[in-house]
Amino acid sequence: MKFVTMCLALVCAFGLTAGASAQQGPLRITIEEGIITPLPFAVPTFQAETAEAGQLAQDLVRVIAADLQGTGVFREIPSSAFIAQYTDFNAPVSFPDWKAINAQALVTGAVAVTGNSVNVKFRVFDVVSGTNIGEGLQFSGTTDGWRRMAHKVADEVYSRITGEGGYFDSRVVYVSETGPKNQRAKRLAIMDYDGANVRYLTDSSAIVLAPRFSPTGDRVLYTSYATGFPRIYVLDIGSVQQRVLESAEGTMSFAPRFSPSGNTVVYSLSQGGNTDIYTMDINSGQSVRLTNTPSIETAPSYSPDGSQIVFESDRSGSPQLYIMSAGGGEAKRISFGEGRYGTPVWSPRGDLVAFTKQNAGRFHIGVMRTDGSEERLLTASFLDEGPTWSPNGRVIMFTRETQGEGGASSLYSVDITGRVLQRVNTPEGGSDPSWSPLQQ
């Protein structure tokens, strides 16, 4: 019996020693809980390399800072807190001065203006480690396009620090609204993502709805009531030329959206009181019916790979979200929460579906996984609807309408955490936004 006890003791001793011996290697720890706070950055006014560049250097920096700050991922440190005087793009960076004000990232740059030409160069630094983040980069353009250059710089900074594509050098097409609620004039407008450079694409002689960008950002689909009934048009943004996509007489077509290839349009067609989903080859005009049910099927949106379509249907008795193959066939319901779901839009990353939800007298913009799991509501108001994704799938823009006779529509954006909700400044009211891909 004693022999057994001694053996057990030795075995235990060996096991523990081996364990202790393993501790002579590096200390291994896994961290799963961090913080989500905006990263403090500094962007001093760029060096003006020519006399004409002074104002532009300030303007560029204001746009870059606003882009980054607006993501909620970054927090700008005001220039009043700066210790270092930044005057020379090629001078060594005094990291202790930037560390002292708790900057973690630093963007420096220089601008040269010659006649109508602008050259912007910049560098991004990790202040904590005192190193460059990537190589210096420069963009050239014209003075008219200075905002785009600022957005491109901001996209590059965002991408280098987060590892994701940016979304600042993009545009939004939307319905501009003026006049009282019961007699509102609507026309298509296009603007930079931040509300700058608004340009009107149609007049307000006919009601227009639901503009949708093509995958290359050069065309827009929309629904117009020019004939008294809804019909789908395609508009070339460069030439502002438009043409109707023909559909059978006596039918109404609406809710169009491009396929990822840009060659096909998926849309709703109403005939004899029934609404189903169809596709149309945009060149030949040949259409294919995808659903055939007595219920209302609408608001189709392709997955980024073009293989599936998410759409809204009331086949279960109330509007819910469904996914089917891009060729049609059996659909699978993905929304099961309380309330009514509509206007689903597949994320460009492919991982989420954004939607409008109405429940208990309130409207919400929300997201869920494509299998319907992990539903999260990002907003709540009297009326929020019509989400559209930023090119990188991190931000959603939508329409918010205020209550009452004087209620007005405005554009808002929210990031997918729901933490950063912002109004998008437009000269008039706005609704039905559609976000373009990043510009080429």
Partner 1 sequence: MRSLGIISALMALALPQIARAQELSAAERVAFGRSVAACWNVQQDAAAVTLGFELDRAGRPVMQSVRLLRSGAGTDAAIVAAFSAAKRAVLRCGAKGFDLPVEKYQQWRNIELTFDPERMVLR
Q: Which of these segments, 9-17, 222-230, 339-347, 383-391, binds partner 1 (CB under 8 A)?
A: 9-17
Helix axes 146-162, 54-70, angle to 10 degrees: 40
Give least dist CB 16 to partner 1, A.
Answer: 4
Pick the closest to residue 275 from 265, 286, 262, 289 (CA basis).
Answer: 289
How many angstroms separate the most distant Cα atoms in the chain? 102
Closer of 161 and 266 to partner 1 (Cβ) = 161
* CA quadruple 234, 238, 241, 247: dihedral, nearest 10: -10
CB of 377 within 8 A of CB of 366?
A: yes
Question: Which SS3 state, helix, strand or coil, does residue 426 take?
Answer: coil
Name the E strands within 148-295: 171-178, 185-192, 199-200, 208-213, 219-224, 231-236, 242-244, 252-258, 264-271, 274-281, 287-289
Adjacent-strand bridge partners of 232: 223
Query: Residues 6 or more apart from 302 whose CB is under 8 A from it?
Result: 257, 258, 259, 260, 266, 308, 309, 326, 346
Closer of 8 and 196 to partner 1 (Cβ) = 8
Pick the closest to residue 384 from 354, 405, 427 (CA basis).
Answer: 354
Q: Does 36 bind partner 1 (CB under 8 A)?
A: yes
The residue within the footprint of partner 1, chosen from 1, 4, 28, 250 (CB under 8 A), is: 28
The residue within the footprint of partner 1, chosen from 53, 61, 73, 396 (CB under 8 A), is: 73
Closer of 30 and 403 to partner 1 (Cβ) = 30
C-alpha–C-alpha distance, residues 266 and 232, integer Å:
11
Give least dist CB 68 to partner 1, A.
Answer: 14
What burial class does residue 205 get, using C-beta atoms within 10 Å of its C-beta: 0-12 exposed, 13-18 middle, 19+ buried? exposed
Closer of 186 and 394 to partner 1 (Cβ) = 394
Closer of 72 and 386 to partner 1 (Cβ) = 72
Q: Within positions 345 to 384, which residues make up the interface with partner 1, using CB under 8 A?
A: 374, 376
Closer of 105 and 290 to partner 1 (Cβ) = 105
Give least dist CB 70 to partner 1, A.
Answer: 16
Q: Does 31 bind partner 1 (CB under 8 A)?
A: yes
Q: Measure Cα distances from 380 to 40, 373, 397, 399, 401 in Å.
A: 29, 20, 14, 12, 11
In this structure, what token pair is assigned to residue 171?
């545009």
Task: Report residue 20: phi and psi, to 5°.
Answer: -65, -35
Closer of 34 and 294 to partner 1 (Cβ) = 34
Q: Does 23 bind partner 1 (CB under 8 A)?
A: yes
Q: Which of these segments, 14-22, 144-152, 179-187, 403-411, binds partner 1 (CB under 8 A)?
A: 14-22
Q: Does 29 bind partner 1 (CB under 8 A)?
A: yes
Q: Within positions 398 to 427, which residues make up the interface with partner 1, using CB under 8 A?
A: 416-417
The residue within the footprint of partner 1, chosen from 148, 160, 186, 357 (CB under 8 A), is: 160
Binding-site size for partner 1 (CB under 8 A) equals: 45
Q: Does 1 bind partner 1 (CB under 8 A)?
A: no
Q: Are strands 352-359 and 340-346 parallel, antiparallel or unpaired?
A: antiparallel
The residue within the footprint of partner 1, chosen from 114, 129, 138, 307 (CB under 8 A), is: 129
The residue within the footprint of partner 1, chosen from 162, 204, 358, 359 (CB under 8 A), is: 162
Q: Are strands 264-271 and 395-401 parallel, antiparallel or unpaired?
A: unpaired
The residue within the footprint of partner 1, chosen from 132, 138, 144, 164 (CB under 8 A), is: 164
Q: Does 242 bind partner 1 (CB under 8 A)?
A: no
The residue within the footprint of partner 1, chosen from 1, 4, 37, 183 (CB under 8 A), is: 37
Q: Does 51 bind partner 1 (CB under 8 A)?
A: no
Q: Does 94 bind partner 1 (CB under 8 A)?
A: no
C-alpha–C-alpha distance, residues 342 and 322, integer Å:
10
Site residues for partner 1 per CB under 8 A: 2, 6, 9-10, 12-14, 16-17, 19-21, 23-37, 39, 73, 104, 126, 128-129, 133, 159-164, 374, 376, 394, 416-417
